[in-house]
A = this chain, B = another copy of it.
Amino acid sequence: MQSSIPDLFGIKIPLIQAGMVWNSGWRLASAVSNAGALGVIGSGSMYPEVLQYHLQQCKAHCSAPFAVNIPLLYPDIESHIETVIQHRVPIVITSAGNPATYTQRLKDAGIRVVHVVASAKFAEKAQKAGCDAVVAEGFEAGGHNGREETTSFVLIPLVKAAVDIPVIAAGGIATGQQMLAAMILGAEAVQIGTRFVCTPEASSHESFKDAVIQAGEGATQLSMKKTVPVRLLKNAFYHKIQAAEDAGADAKSLKEILGKGRAKKGMFEGDLEEGELEIGQVAALVHRIQPAAEVVAEIWREYNTLLDSIKKGA
């Protein structure tokens, strides 16, 4: 299973921790990068000065390359772009927006740029914009997602066929077994979010982490399809907004129900009833809190053990 990702990013293991709002600050990113994978700071929930602080801390605690995820719809996007350039962040993962806008500027600053897509069509756009790789995010992934609902099983081969740049698979991956399946389908690396929420280093609230490890099959749903689709745990807030959507509420009404600050309330402050609890479907396969370095090592060991057993014809 060949992968150009370790060389491209200067890392040892073709595994990327997803940049997640309210979850992935410098503690998680540095722990993952120190373990040989790629740690990612999720800047979407950070004020400009908060991102600066996390970058300083990450550099101080980590000698390996790390990345920053920037949702391109971030209100103060210019500030974030300037910050990652000034701090000479080696890799930037952009999402939720047009890759044509900032990719060249980041590349001119010597930064590797990866864009997150949910379709082959947008993967082609990312390649055309000069991105070094794409993250193909399937329907099963947590948080914001595409409208076409293409799952990893179908999306990975579709994106692989559409572009020449490396494909990083995201959505439905939490184990070495799933990592190998994604690589079989054409990915050169995987991006994992949900499992890294279940680490002491994730900055989210303990109650949220507990809810994730308790979550079984059917515990999440892609909701708010009339505005921005988001996969989240089915809590009281979910049932309220889903009932409104089912009853015919329009995008405006749904945005009013959503209001402001629900993701922070749920994931950072631990309000399991009224908060927005973004997580992937694969939460059903994650049963305990483990240090991030142990998660990286375990997934990589599972992956290689399974690959070796196949090579031996087991």
Q: Given A148-B218, A184-B181, A172 and B158 touching (CB < 8 A)? A: no
Interface residues of A in 147-195 (CB under 8 A from B): 147-155, 157-158, 171-173, 175, 177-178, 180-182, 184-186
Complex interface: chain B residues within 8 A of A249 (CB)? 248
Tell me how many chains of this kind the complex includes.
Answer: 2
A226 within 8 A of B: yes
Shortest Cβ distance from A245 into B: residue: B246
Contacts of A151 in B (CB 8 A): 138-140, 151-153, 171-172, 281
Which residue of chain B lies nearest to A140 when distances are taken between CB atoms in the complex? B151
Interface size counted on chain A using CB atoms at 8 A: 50
**Residues of chain B lying within 8 A (CB to CB) of residue A182:** 153, 181
In whole angstroms, what is the CA distance A282 to B246 when docked?
27
For the complex, is A135 an interface residue (Cβ under 8 Å from B)? no
The answer to whether B150 touches A217 (Cβ under 8 A) is yes
Among B119, B120, B154, B217, the residue within 8 A (CB) of A140 is: B154
A259 sits at the interface (CB 8 A): no
- Give complex CA distance A281, B146 in Å: 15
Question: What are 8 pairs between A and B in contact, CB < 8 Å?
Answer: A1-B310, A119-B217, A151-B171, A154-B217, A154-B281, A158-B284, A177-B184, A247-B248
A154 touches B184 (CB 8 A): no
A306 and B282 CA atoms in complex are apart in Å by 27
Which of chain B's residues have a CB closer than 8 A to the CB of A158? 217, 284-285
Let me know if A153 and B171 touch, CB within 8 A: yes
User: CA of A226 to CA of B247 in the docked complex: distance in angstroms?
Assistant: 11
Query: How distant is A171 from chain B, measured CB to nearest CB, in Å?
Result: 7
Answer whether residue A222 sits at the interface, using C-beta atoms and an 8 A cutoff.
Answer: yes
Which residue of B is nearest A222, CB measured?
A: B149
B contact residues around A171 at 8 Å (CB):
151, 153
Residues of B within 8 A of A120 (CB): 217
Contact of A157 with B178 in the complex, beta carbons under 8 Å:
yes
Q: Does A260 sit at the interface, judged by CB under 8 A? A: no
Q: Is A313 an interface residue (CB 8 A)?
A: yes
B-contact bits for A216-254, CB 8 A (1 contact / 0 none): 011001100010000000000000000000111100000
